[in-house]
Structure 1
Amino acid sequence: MAPIGEGGTREPIEGVTITVSQDGKEIGSATSGKDGKWQIPVPHAGTYQVTLDVKTLPNTVQLQTAGKETLKGLVVQPGFSKVALFPLVKQGQGTGATGGGGGSGQLEYLISIFITGLRFGLIIAMTAVGLSLIFGTTRLINFAHGELVTLGAVVAFAFGTSPLQWPFVIAIVLAVIAVAALSGLLEFALWRPLRKRGSGLIQMFIISIGLSLLLRNGIQFFFGPDRQQFQQATAQTQLTWGPFSATPMDLITIVVSIAILVGVAVMLQRTRMGKAMRALADNRDLAEASGINVDRVILQVWVIGGALAAVGGILFGLTSAVSFDMGFRLLLLMFAGIILGGLGSAYGAMLGSIVVGLVAQYSTVWFPPELQNAWAMLVLVVVLLVRPQGILGRLQRAG
């Protein structure tokens, strides 16, 4: 609790009462300390409501926005803390909408949402790039891609926890290798024979749906229906630099995601393999006529796509929780990012996914978190109405 004083200085407020509730039931309460901070433990992950008792505020302080003493729809993830900010101003500075000096608290909140949205968008981008490359080279809409995301997190969790408890870095490497190998095996043993037999894209799409159901139920059978938390991601502490605050895992996720996505972009632009992938995506017949080994390039795409899905799944599990359907829950957002950025464009998938992640998170500022995916879909519809080919897509003539 720290309103903005003269010259933008913060003045901590002690003795302000905060209450946390869920579904009308009080979970706990706390009083701000000398530093203006407070903390209330919650029993489990979920959506909570935080209320400030305005009667406990000093007479010289008021809420920046009248009637905003309750914050609704705050989603708490397993092992993580959730920041709840109540913008306060000196008495008489509030306008009922925005206060004269209280914009800093709102700015901190919006910045925290941006960091969360960027992290979420980069995770979606990581998983969507592989899916976009597969579509670009084979025209297959792989509905089972979400299960590769789940497998990455589940395998890393299995290797990194008891009874194995291998070093976490080794668990991550093994999980990525395992999922990449499985993805390549599916291409070699399933999708390539289907293409050789002349199976249509609709039939292959339906097969991918069946494969998705098979893998998801298999994961549920072995992993169980409950959400699990990586031991390495528990009890995260918020790091603060001025108006910026984030957990160490947020920063690791953002840095690793950006590094890998930049690496993928460099690979596509500068390496022989990447150029072959782009050539195949542009014109399969011309690529084959120019001497490119189409089957080998497609196999490479599936292996890389599986590896990216595994890394994205591990990062998603570290920043939320591991569950048997986590990849399936991301699948719609992957498709949204790919279509928004432009079908078949890996760079478009990156950009579109980041936009989807930011919109989904920023929508929670004004609307219930349960609707965040719906707002991401709305942005997709609006963009396609204005630019049907997507942000980085190219118009093509049908027929």
Structure 2
Amino acid sequence: MKSRHVVRERSVHRGVAGLILTLLLAPLLALISSGPAHAVDTLCLPGPDKACIAGTIRTEDGPLADVKLTVTDEAGTVTEVTTGETGKWNVQVDKEGPYVVKIDEASLPKDLDVVKDNVTVKAKFGATMPALLTVRTASYSDSTSKFDQLLQSTVNGLRLGLLLALASVGLSLIYGTTGLSNFAHAEQVTLGGMLGYLLINVHGLNIWLGGLLVVILCAFSGYFQDRVLWQPLRRRGLGLTQMIIVTIGLSLALQYVYQYLVGAGTVRVVQDNPSVREFGSVTITNQSLVAMAISIVVLLAVGYALLRTRVGRATRAVSDNPALASASGIDTDKVIRLVWTVAMGLAGLSGLLYALVVNGVKWDSGLQILLLLFAAVTLGGLGTAFGALIGALIIGLVVEVSPVVGMPGDFKYATALLILILLLLVRPQGLLGKPQRVG
């Protein structure tokens, strides 16, 4: 009986050992039987002394994996890289200057035409530079219609308009409650992008946590500005002209602070290689979709707060008539400080998303963004938050759509300002502004 029990116990131990061994070897067996492996997408993060060169190899039928490329610097040093399963590739370099990127045509599948097999890219520290290489199937024909181009530009315009709306709504609220045209507002947009780059790319924070910190820090900067600068100036009875000059000086000071801290290069908030979605003839990245969704949710929340909450009604009362609002018991200073806080937080969020999905930001990006913000606020109606929203959407659409209808790309911003001038000749108060009697 004892020997039979020992045999049974040994058989149980062998069974357990066999099960454990099978579980341990299962991944290896699966890997061996899965066939040849493809290169995987890797992440390249630029830094103060690092630059990235990246691109995607694809045809109209889809991405191309396992395509080999060479990246050659001025000294003739060659770096080889292979595309991943999504056709993406990237290389990190430690020298600025021109690099020649070339496709190894022997690694391409058959029946492909290489329209452009090499390109020269100038690498810059702190930035990811794209290398655009064109590969097509032999049966390819460029049949992109004007309608498809218009549809793609319309989507891009809506994306730009939503990002501009986040900043222009705050700018409009500041004007409505204080009468001040804040020329330093665009520098808050730049600040959002710069902080996003420093927190997410340099210090490695999660993009959601980093984004939340960016909004909080930008909102605090608005609270601090009003507490230390604007409220004392209002109490001293400083005129609007003098305060506008102060905003211009603040704008210039912030620009050179950004240049000193971050440098003259363009920075982008890059967390990973963005995936692309196709909706018919429209191509858009997942990051752009998320940015547009965040913008819509935030704008709806601001609109609800203005229309349905007590603080929102107080804000509208101060905007309509500050003296009457103060006489009725509303603390105008607290309302104005809240407006500055919210406006700067919205501007910071706009800058973060702009640096993430559009063209990135650099120290003087505020000069370009400012014209679009003022155009949106003026087009919609000075002092009206909902007018600023509509104006921003119109400006975004005009900027992106105008090149499709024949306007040179360098004049797309001028086209938006031209439409603003023509509208003001017909309706000086803007789309949603109220007519005011002069004198």
TM-score, scaled relative to structure 2: 0.69
User: Aligned pair in 2 of structure 1 residues 235, 143: CA closer, same or farther (>3 Å)?
Assistant: same
1:127 equivalent among 146, 158, 167: 167
> Counterparts of 1:285 and 1:40 in 2: how far apart (Å)?
68
Identify the residue that residue 417 of structure 2 maps to in structure 1. 377
Candidates 177, 185, 195, aligned match of 1:137: 177
Answer whether contact 2:101 2:131 (CA < 8 A) is retained: no
CA contact (8 A) 1:239 1:248 kept: yes
Further displaced range: 113-122 or 297-306: 113-122
Query: Quick one: distance in 1 between partners of 2:292 and 2:262?
Result: 27
Following the alignment from structure 1 to structure 2, what is the Cα–Cα distance between the partners of residues 254 and 265? 16
Partner SS, residue 364 of structure 1 = coil
Aligned residues: 331
Deviation at 1:332, TM superposition (A): 0.6
Deviation per residue, 1:257-295 (Å, 9 max, x gap):
111111111110001111111110001111111111100
CA contact (8 A) 1:136 1:345 kept: yes
Offset at 1:121?
1.0
> Structure 2 residue aligned with 1:327, among 342, 345, 366?
366
* TM-superposed deviation, 1:368: 2.1
Task: Name the structure 1 match of 2:323.
Answer: 285
Residue 247 (structure 2) aligns with: 208
Deviation (angstroms), 1:185: 0.7
- Check if 1:359 corresponds to 2:370: no
1:267 to 282, 305, 309: 305
In structure 2, relative to structure 1, the CA distance for the partners of 1:144 and 1:273 (3 Å cut) is: same
Measured in 1, the distance between the counterparts of 2:374 and 2:341 equals 20
Cα distance in structure 1, aligned partners of 2:152 and 2:109: 21
**In the alignment, which residue of structure 1 is the partner of 2:97?**
none
2:263 is the alignment partner of 1:227: no
Partner amino acid, structure 2, of 1:167: N
- Corresponding position of 1:117: 157
Higher relative contact order (CA 8 A, sep 6+): 1
CA shift, 1:385, in A, is: 1.2
Residue pair 1:80, 1:235 contacting (<8 A) in 2 also:
no
Out of 143, 151, 158, the residue aligned to residue 191 of structure 2 is 151
State whether structure 2 residue 340 is matched by structure 1 residue 340: no
What residue is the counterpart of 2:3 in the other structure?
Answer: none
Deviations 1:146-188 (A, max 9, x none): 11111111111111123x2111211111111111111111111
C-alpha spacing 1:35/1:117, structure 2 compared with 1 (3 Å): farther
Structure 2 unpaired stretches of 5+: 1-59, 62-99
Please show how residues 239-254 of structure 1 align to structure 2 within 5 Å. 239-254=277-292
Number of the residue aligned with 2:429: 389
Post-superposition shift, 1:230? 2.1
Equivalent position amino acid for 1:298 in 2: I
1:43 CA displacement: 4.8
Range that drifts further, 254-263 or 346-355: 254-263
Deviation for aligned residue 1:237? 3.7
CA shift digits 1:108-132 (9 cap, x unpaired): 2111101111111111111111010
| 8 Å CA contact retained: 2:193, 2:269 | no
Q: Who wins on radius of gyration, i.e. which is larger?
A: 2
The runs of at least 4 aligned residues of structure 1 exceeding 4 Å deviation read 26-46, 77-85
What amino acid maps onto 1:128 in structure 2?
Answer: S
| Counterpart-to-counterpart distance in 2, 1:176 and 1:369 | 32
Contact kept, 8 Å, 1:123 with 1:315, in 2: the verdict is: yes
Q: 2:257 aligns with which of 210, 218, 238?
A: 218
Distance 1:45 1:358 in 2: 31
Shift of 1:80: 9.7
Amino acid at match of 2:242: Q
Alpha-carbon contact 1:229-1:322 (below 8 Å) kept: yes
Shift of 1:326: 2.1
Letter in 2 for 1:183: G
1 CA distance for matches of 2:186 and 2:408?
A: 25
- Structure 1 SS opposite 2:283: strand
Question: Which deviates more, 179-188 or 28-37?
Answer: 28-37
Residue correspondence of structure 1 range 5-16 to structure 2 within 5 A: none
User: 1:300 is matched with which residue?
Assistant: 338
- Alpha-carbon displacement from aligned partner over 1:15-69 (angstroms, at most 9, x marks no partner): xxxxxxxxxxx998999986999887755599xxxxxxxxxxxxxxxxxxxxxxx
Could you tell me which runs of 5 or more consecutive residues in structure 1 were left unpaired when the two chains were aligned.
Answer: 1-10, 13-25, 47-76, 91-101
Q: In the TM superposition, what is the alpha-carbon distance from 1:83 to its structure 2 partner?
A: 11
Q: Report SS of the residue matched to 1:239.
A: strand
Residue matched to 1:181? 220
2:353 to 284, 297, 315: 315
Aligned-partner SS, 1:246: strand
Code of the aligned partner of 2:305: M
* 1:231 Cα deviation after fit: 2.2
TM normalised by structure 1 equals 0.76
SS at match of 2:349: helix
Contact 1:81 1:238 in 2 (8 A): no
